[in-house]
Structure 1
Amino acid sequence: MIPKPSFDEKVQLDNVQDLGRVLLCVRHEYPSRKLVLFKSDVAEAYRQMPMHPWWQARQVVSIGNRRMVDRANVFGRCRSGNIWCAFMSLVLWIAVYIKSLVDMLAYSDDTFSWEFADEITWYEPYQCMFPTKQAHLLLLWDELHIPHNCLKQINGSPLNIIGFDVDANLMQITLSAERRSALVAGIRDFMSVSSARHRRPLRQFQALAGWIQWSLNVFPLLRPGLSCLYAKTRGKTNPSASVEITVALCDELTWLANHIECASGVFMLESLAWRPSDADLVLFTDASSDGITFWSPALSMGFHAPLPNIAATIFFWESLAVVSAIDWASRLPTPVHPTRLLIHCDNTNTVDLFNTLHAQPQYNSLLLYAVDRLLESKIDLRVVHIAGSANGVADALSRRQGDRALALHPGLTIFNFIPPRDALGARRS
């Protein structure tokens, strides 16, 4: 009667990365003011939504000879979340555009945001002070007859929001050691299937994917560790269907678990804030049928490599050029070692690859290697698009046209290099 929602129909919930971007804007505008976070919870949120009478017939509960109709929205059905979030989206619209409560975010039944620490207001029903924005939100809920309980209306900094400790003044998000250990144990347990066929039901794949996806709020660079997991579940709908755990999947999950195990669990929001003009090192990359290349205008150094002897597309070569640039920059000595690396590339697919960190399995080895180098060298990366007409030096180098490259940038020194073999993954000969 109500089909399972497709990806495009699913509600995109706010997360702590969204909150982080909001806090960065606030901190930029008010660098010295102390902030406080708050989180407000609706009581029995899903149950506040009445269901259509035709659907109520599917929610008859039998106890002995008695039949009782559940007339409210039930948690756990495929559309339950959509129904609640559609209603809550309207409530947030009223909060933002009618009540002028800016930067309101929501994750299911939790609404969260920030307020200046010295802005507090007395909320009469609970006989206590709340951050002004939170108090006004509760007054809106009262006006709309949305129920809530005092114990679920919390505030402070740091504050736990959807499982993460967020500090609005230190500008950091932390995943506790206990939660990190539980996630690592869950990943390793998932791989340790004793059956000969090495399989698990689809629902377990989906549950692990959701758990890991949640952790990416603190470990955004580890997204490539989900490539095989997503590929194994794509297009499958039967939650009981048996899905094979392959060697490639285990390799990616092991890579993911090892990084989470060694990580501090702290994500600094400042790493999201820098602009291209703040970069310590700027590189340009390109690829052609004659080779791959990157170069540094500031250092007047260009690098060219012939294409490895493997079958691949131009997209792969363009991406390998970016990975090679990252590899070279990550090994620079301290005086010129960058903390913020900006790479210009004229291939839009490659730019998207490094901005989303999501690739098909055949390209994922490039991302895995790049992330390894970024984490080890503590470099923040931005890859941005540049028009091909403005990428003349890199284009000339990729085509072995040294004279044209020197004419465009006099004083350029050109070197040969070998692309990192580990980035080629299964393509290596």
Structure 2
Amino acid sequence: MCWLSIKKFDITDLHVFMDDFYSWEKSNNLITYQGVSRPKNQARLLVLWDAIGCPWEEKKQEFGEKLKIIGFWVDINQGTITLSEDSAADIVSKIESFIETPSRRPPLRNWQCLAGHLNWLLNVLPWGRPALTEMYWKMSGKDTMHAGIYLNKEVIADMNWLIDIILKSMGVRFLDTTRWHNSAADMVIWTDASLKLGMAFVYAGNGFAYQMAPEETSTKIDIFFLELIAILSAIFHVALFLHPPRRLLIFTDSLDSVAVFNSLGASESLHNSVVRAVAGIILQTGIDLKVCHIAGPIYYLDYFLMNIDENFPQTVSANLSPLEVFCRRDGVEKSTASGYATGARDYVKFCIKHNIPLDPTPQTLARYIAYTSRFIASGPKYLTGLRHFIRNFYPNFDNNRAHPIVQATIRGSKKVRADLIRRKQPLRPHHLTEFVNTARRTAEYDDLLFATMMSCCFYACHRLGELVKKTAKEPPDWRKIIKRSSLKFTPGYAGYHLPYHKADPFFHGTDILFTHQECADPVLLLQEYVKSRDKFHGLRRALFIKRDGSLPTRSWFKSKLFAFVDHSFGGHSARAGGATYYASLGISEDIIKALGRWSSAAWTTYVHENPCVRMALQLAALKKRC
């Protein structure tokens, strides 16, 4: 019947559980059926039932902003699923009666009955799952329903903990429980532990370590427990922030820990107690936690752990205020931070391999540069990434890097690695003409999109990353994407707002303005493209959008480009071509820098047509002086 309703009556988002049907409808989309004003889809379902002779009762045709579905109250506007106070109180009463059973030996049927109620409860209190672990262990392997099972202290402790959180933390916001990509995390922490040394976690340039002290105890402490404690410590630390992150991502090299937080249950009481402690923090703060595995050793944590001694402070770096950490998290672009991490990892590996202290003294930095120059030419650049991660630990890093010994080693390494610089060729106006002619010939939407983007890239000297995403899997950062609403046309001009670029880290944005050009006129192309774009995609936010509705990616852009040119060209060829084109016209350096949003003279590396272009530049400079 549900299939018939969806396929034949076009009742969208209809769901069924046993004999209960439910769906949603906009509050203003009501119609009258059999004298009652009701949601349109509900009325259509009743029409179907009447048509096939299926009986129904008016009292069961419920609707509203908050509705009870299979025992749960669902608030569609708040996005919550909860139990009523009476239902919660009833479950608490059942738990209390269970743990107060005379002789503390309730029969198996009572255990199973309560477990069924609690499993139902987990739909609105998933973080209550650790409380059921001990209960399942006690019931496992038993099948005599009237036989009593002894209540041990672990089960009683779990039940009391569950009672404590039920009335405080009841409810799930289903709008917030969707899976999110790692790149969407508000904060990332790395944790690690060692049985002999201790535990540590790091984030945003901060490192915290705890030294293990040998102690006689009957409780067996294993590495799994310490890995869990390291994660708990990190979560507890973050929960004390003035503004805790909404989405917290923790990386650990312990697969067992990842499995525990995926299932919210551990195989031993000692481990389960840690999960229960984490659950309490999560329920209190509302942090959305995700624990992921990172393969291989976490080198900077290993270094902290290997260098702990009796004088090692519990806090490795100076504490930053939570607000400062909150601001610093977005201080560096994620792509830049990823590149910085490469340099930091390489330096730490070097120190570990050669048994050298991590302290970046001039001698250590010079040795590192000399060592890397044997393999790569980017060793000196790695120092920038290293600085980003350890400058809080070693405030003298900048002075040490500027030391004559280090600078002399860097100069020498550049001579050792005097690799040939290979830059991509700039595009020419005739390339743009070819792109446009192909779009005209094929009449394909994506070909027109590509020709328009190439024209904009060329004449506005765009970086490729300003118009496309890096990968299809990468979630879009709407702060950086050019919006359709920003596109404006005036007589003889077209323009849009570029919300972000490399030289504008604070999102002030830049207004891009195009004029008519002889080759691949960007004004006419934008007019033609946007007409086709609006036909297919209407009010979608992005200006540049593919026929299938996805945003253009770097790989898509290059596949289109390499259909016309060879690999001596690349993603930045349009930007280089624009700079070369303007330079060949004799436009002054200041204007070219402004057109390409360059903050330095780096644009000159894009000018390939020496000496003709250089001569034009000199003439423009002379005219400016006159």
Same fold per TM (> 0.5)?
A: yes
- Which has the larger share of strand? 1
On the 8 A contact 1:347/1:385 being kept in 2, the answer is no
SS in 1 for 2:391: coil
2:235 is aligned with 1:330: no
Greater RCO between the two (CA within 8 Å, min separation 6)? 1
Please give the alpha-carbon distance, in whole angstroms, between the structure 1 residues aligned to 2:165 and 2:58: 40
CA RMSD of the aligned region, Å?
Answer: 3.3
Query: 1:225 pairs with 131, 143, 148, which one?
Result: 131
Q: Number of aligned pairs?
A: 316
- Quickly say closer, same or farther: Cα 1:161–1:189, change in 2 above 3 A: same
Q: Which amino acid is 2:84 matched to? A: S
> For residue 165 of structure 2, what is the aligned residue in structure 1?
259
> For residue 215 of structure 1, what is the aligned residue in structure 2?
121
On the 8 A contact 1:343/1:383 being kept in 2, the answer is yes
> For residue 130 of structure 1, what is the aligned residue in structure 2?
38
- Quickly say closer, same or farther: Cα 1:290–1:222, change in 2 above 3 A: same
- Quickly say closer, same or farther: Cα 1:284–1:100, change in 2 above 3 A: farther
> For residue 120 of structure 1, what is the aligned residue in structure 2?
30
> For residue 346 of structure 1, what is the aligned residue in structure 2?
253
> For residue 203 of structure 1, what is the aligned residue in structure 2?
109
Q: Which amino acid is 1:252 matched to? A: D
Provide, for residues 171-215 of structure 1, a one-character-per-residue CA deviation record: whole Å limited to 9, x for no partner.
2233222222222122111111223xx211222111111222222
On the 8 A contact 1:183/1:211 being kept in 2, the answer is yes
Please give the alpha-carbon distance, in whole angstroms, between the structure 1 residues aligned to 2:146 and 2:55: 37
Provide, for residues 277-310 of structure 1, a one-character-per-residue CA deviation record: whole Å limited to 9, x for no partner.
4544321112344445443331432424438755
Provide, for residues 399-425 of structure 1, a one-character-per-residue CA deviation record: whole Å limited to 9, x for no partner.
5598557786433649xxxxxxxxxxx
2:217 is aligned with 1:311: no
- Quickly say closer, same or farther: Cα 1:368–1:287, change in 2 above 3 A: same
Please give the alpha-carbon distance, in whole angstroms, between the structure 2 residues aligned to 1:308 and 1:160: 55
On the 8 A contact 1:290/1:398 being kept in 2, the answer is no
Query: 2:154 pairs with 236, 244, 248, which one?
Result: 248
Please report how far the alpha carbon of residue 145 of structure 1 lies from its aligned counterpart in structure 2 after TM superposition.
Answer: 5.9
Please give the alpha-carbon distance, in whole angstroms, between the structure 2 residues aligned to 1:358 and 1:302: 27
On the 8 A contact 1:300/1:411 being kept in 2, the answer is no
Please give the alpha-carbon distance, in whole angstroms, between the structure 2 residues aligned to 1:289 and 1:111: 55
Please give the alpha-carbon distance, in whole angstroms, between the structure 2 residues aligned to 1:269 and 1:308: 46
SS in 1 for 2:102: coil
2:289 is aligned with 1:382: yes
Q: Which has the larger radius of gyration?
A: 2
2:373 is aligned with 1:393: no
Q: Which amino acid is 2:390 matched to? A: P
> For residue 22 of structure 1, what is the aligned residue in structure 2?
none
> For residue 111 of structure 1, what is the aligned residue in structure 2?
21
> For residue 410 of structure 1, what is the aligned residue in structure 2?
390
Please give the alpha-carbon distance, in whole angstroms, between the structure 2 residues aligned to 1:254 and 1:177: 18
Please report how far the alpha carbon of residue 136 of structure 1 lies from its aligned counterpart in structure 2 after TM superposition.
Answer: 3.7
- Quickly say closer, same or farther: Cα 1:189–1:165, change in 2 above 3 A: same
Query: 1:151 pairs with 51, 59, 63, which one?
Result: 59
2:79 is aligned with 1:174: no
Please give the alpha-carbon distance, in whole angstroms, between the structure 2 residues aligned to 1:96 and 1:308: 66
Please report how far the alpha carbon of residue 157 of structure 1 lies from its aligned counterpart in structure 2 after TM superposition.
Answer: 0.9
Query: 1:268 pairs with 164, 173, 179, which one?
Result: 173
Please give the alpha-carbon distance, in whole angstroms, between the structure 1 residues aligned to 2:287 and 2:195: 30
Unaligned runs of 5+ in 2: 309-347, 353-357, 361-385, 395-626
Q: Which amino acid is 1:354 matched to? A: F
SS in 1 for 2:193: strand
